[in-house]
Amino acid sequence: MNKTLLSFGHGYSAQALAAVLIPQGWRVIGTTRTAEKADAIAATGVEPLIWPGGDVMPALAEATHVLISAGPTADGDPVLNALHAAIASKASELEWLGYLSTTGVYGDHAGDWVDEETPLTPTTRRGQMRKDAEEAWRAIPGLPLHIFRLAGIYGPGRGPFEKVRQGTARRIIKQGQVFSRTHVEDIAQVLAASIARPAPGTAYNVCDDDPAPPQEVIAHAATLLGLPVPPAIPIEQAEMTPMARSFYAESKRVRNERIKSALGVRLRYPTYREGLAALLKDG
């Protein structure tokens, strides 16, 4: 088959995709910033590459597919900043390039529904940087670009159970607030389905079927654990980091029909209830 995925910023979602591809015979090369993380990546069967710092050009030359997980900064997209010319010259040789964005590019819709055709009107700085990065990737001629707008990610090692067990979970109440979310295994299957059915230029929302108030998710997690439901705290009284508060600045319900109709995806965890039950069973 001779398929090689070069994964820039080989983090949580990219690792889930690698776990799908490697058993199929894929070679996966993943960049990371530290030797410690490189050792952890190597243990999963991925070839680690410390970057920035190492020479990524041989890996790029050998790649048939590229995944961009590294997030943008105030200076722009770090991969494009370093490798724009090299990627542009490689564009026609690649079979697929995936860019992991966020549903934050849609901004605040006061709980209304958005889909992939909704205009991008981010209301946070982080959302604006993602919009700018999407546009920068789209501007490369001939690139087989696929954009994946991810909702809030949870999965093994990342979810509400630990905070509920520790007694640090909070049910912050903001009237009308809803979030969409997605299990990391569903992200992986969407990416794999797109690789199997490439459609350059397409954007996909990656989320489950049940946008829900965050306090309901915390309460359900506590119920599953047989622990007391954390008390409700009005958002006006809650102490929050600027990043946490920025999440509550936006409320929207995200449609996911395109991943089903175009890619044939059937979600493993269509709501947080199935996802949390599986995490509890496995953890």
Indicate the burial class of 166 (C-beta count within 10 angstroms; 0-12, 13-18, 19 or more): exposed
Give the span between the Cα atoms of 119 and 277, in whole angstroms.
35
The answer as to whether 275 is a domain residue is: no
Residue 10 lies in a domain: yes
Domain that holds residue 35: 4-158+181-209+253-269
Average pLDDT in the 154-177 region?
A: 92
Reply yes or no on whether the pLDDT at 283 is more than 80. no
Q: Over the stretch 191-250, which tens digit does the pLDDT of each residue have? A: 999 999 999 999 999 999 999 999 999 999 999 999 999 999 999 999 888 888 888 989
- The total of other beta-carbon atoms located within 10 Å of residue 167's CB is 9
| pTM confidence score | 0.96
Query: Could you read off the pLDDT of 58-81 as tens digits, one per residue?
Result: 999 999 999 999 999 999 999 999
Rounded-to-integer distance, Cα 213 and Cα 176, Å: 8
The pLDDT of residue 222 is 97
Q: List beta partners, residue 147.
A: 99, 203
Query: What pLDDT does 259 receive?
Result: 98
Average pLDDT on 166-191 reads 95
Instruction: Tell whether the model's pLDDT for residue 146 goes beyond 70.
Output: yes
When divided into structural domains, the chain yields a total of 1
Determine which of 95-99, 163-167, 207-211, 219-223 has the lowest per-residue pLDDT on average: 163-167
Structural domain contains residue 232: no
CA distance 282 to 122: 36
The CATH number for 101's domain is: 3.40.50.720
Asked if residue 1 has pLDDT above 70, the reply is: no
Task: Decide if 190 is inside a domain.
Answer: yes
